Amino acid sequence: MIFGATGDLAKRKLFPSLYHLFRKGKIAKNFAVVGVARRELSNEEFQAHVKDSVLTSIGKDENIEEFVSHFYYKSNDVSDSDSYIELNQLAVQLDEKYELGGNRIFYLAMAPEFFGTITDHLKQDGLTDTQGFKRLVIEKPFGHDLESAEVLNNQIRASFSEKEIYRIDHYLGKEMVQNIEVIRFANALFEPLWNNRYISNIQITSSEELGVEERGRYYEKSGALRDMVQNHMMQMVALLAMEPPIRLTTDEIRSEKVKVLRALRPLKDEEVKDYFVRGQYDAGSINGTEVQGYREGSNVDPESNTETFVAGKLMIDNFRWAGTPFYIRTGKRMEAKSTKIVIQFKDIPMNLYYNTDKQLSPNLLVIHIQPEEGITLHLNAKKTGQNIETTPVKLNFVNNGVDGMNTPEAYEKLLHDCMRGDATNFTHWDEVKLSWAFTDTISNVWENTTEEEFPNYQAGSMGPLAADKLLAQDGFFWWPFSALEVDEC
């Protein structure tokens, strides 16, 4: 059952992903999807909507009629028991028709303020009282801070156990985010070096060209810290820093990630300015098009104090990482849409060789998360000729060039995982709780101090100068995008 089935997420992500799974034979023939939303629609109207979503997104219509024949619609008022009782009657009929064994997945693709009300009703009105499994898939944001997340968690836990809750962080469904573990733990070349003795720093950048667009009302309350750092960025840090799990089970992997979040050095209020930088975009130009500043956007306060950019330094105080900074950077209206991780290795103890600038470039491992998918290893080699000058070389593996067209969408993988009952790539409550505890200190300081410099970066740039200073004070710099682009290699 998809709650919010007439919304944007269902249209752009969920229906196309389900269709992909159907075409690949990953969904059994006996399945039913019930779309639930406020407006009145007949089953036929809803099926036409699903068909249109799939065709718009994928452009294929192989077996589309058969696919949409499994879709049903139920109009629902989130706080009215009668409509849940009717929904349950429909579910029971579909159970019989498709021999579903009472297995139910409830996907809440709705605004978060409805989550608790819906889960209360699912239990109270008998929908969770089923013979088969019951699972709850819940979209971000999971709360606004630790306190609100705890309230929400307690509410949904009254109807579902932790094992039945699948909290979506769609970054965890991305091919190259899932590849972080494999690159680390399946390569003798990297695993022994993956620590503070050989790595000088790690940089994670997730930049967007788009601005806040029509989402001003939501974004004013959220900002980049809550929208990107608390969830996606912290999850990538955990995957990069965790110890090898003793087994590839959900519990073992999650427990290693939780340990990283527990080892994060907490910040005192007065330290926030030394570790974190906030930015807000001004008007500027992106790919030759003039764009307006954040404060000029619709539903945005003309004197808004909301950050559209965050850069930060995270220290992980454990044996493996003590002394090695993890820098993160994310923002809107930046130079390029890109998510990349750069692992910078330490310089070798003595330089016998150097390049024309009398330096030796450090070795870098770049993990390209999106839009390209792949890895690049930056090495030094001898320059052709008789001298001993070095030249940087890059070893490149780019997924897009090989099987990019077949790379499944994150949502496709996550929906499939949920159907199979594999919660590894969903966030456990312990992870959510620890991430909020960390970011709450920063948001509290920022909310209580007006940033006089806002707006402080031009649209189309890589963020404010202060983000560069954050690394410069440690003797590092953000590896520039252009030098690391895959297509240059």
384 annotated as ligand-binding = no
Cβ atoms within 10 Å, residue 102 = 13
Structure-token pair, residue 177: 């985010």
Q: Are strands 326-331 and 199-207 parallel, antiparallel or unpaired?
A: parallel
Selected range binding ligand NAP among 103-111, 187-195, 266-274, 401-409, rule: CB under 6 A: 103-111
User: Among residues 162, 155, 94, which one has the least CA distance to residue 127?
Assistant: 94
**Is 7 a residue that touches ligand NAP (CB under 6 A)?**
yes
Smallest gap from Cβ 105 to ligand NAP, in A, equals 16
Q: For the chain, give me the number of helices (H) and strands (E)?
A: 17, 18
**Is 78 a residue that touches ligand NAP (CB under 6 A)?**
yes
What is the distance between the alpha carbons of residues 100 and 104, in angstroms, rounded to a whole number?
A: 8
**Is 121 a residue that touches ligand NAP (CB under 6 A)?**
no
**Is 9 a residue that touches ligand NAP (CB under 6 A)?**
yes
**Is 235 a residue that touches ligand NAP (CB under 6 A)?**
no
Smallest gap from Cβ 83 to ligand NAP, in A, equals 9
Smallest gap from Cβ 208 to ligand NAP, in A, equals 13
Structure-token pair, residue 289: 């098009």
Pick 6 or 363: Cβ nearer ligand NAP: 6
User: Among residues 65, 69, 85, which one has the least CA distance to residue 77?
Assistant: 85
Active site residue 428: no
Q: Which of 121, 232, 416, 428 is catalytic?
A: 232
Evaluated on CA atoms 294, 436, 165, 117, the torsion sign reads: negative
Pick 418 or 471: Cβ nearer ligand NAP: 418
What is the distance between the alpha carbons of residues 26 and 419, in angstroms, rounded to a whole number?
A: 10
Smallest gap from Cβ 103 to ligand NAP, in A, equals 23
Tokens 């840090």 locate to 237
Quick check: 426 and 213 in contact, CB under 8 A? no
Smallest gap from Cβ 160 to ligand NAP, in A, equals 17
**Is 337 a residue that touches ligand NAP (CB under 6 A)?**
no
DSSP H helices, 125-263, are 146-157, 175-185, 216-224, 234-241, 250-263
Selected range binding ligand NAP among 5-13, 153-161, 257-265, 391-399, rule: CB under 6 A: 5-13
> Please, which residues bridge with residue 30 across strands?
none
Applying CB under 6 A, which of residues 49, 140, 295, 340 lies at the interface with ligand NAP? 140
Q: Looking at the annotation, which residues are catalytic?
A: 232
For binding to ligand NAP (CB under 6 A), which residues are involved?
A: 4-9, 12, 37-39, 76-78, 109-112, 139-140
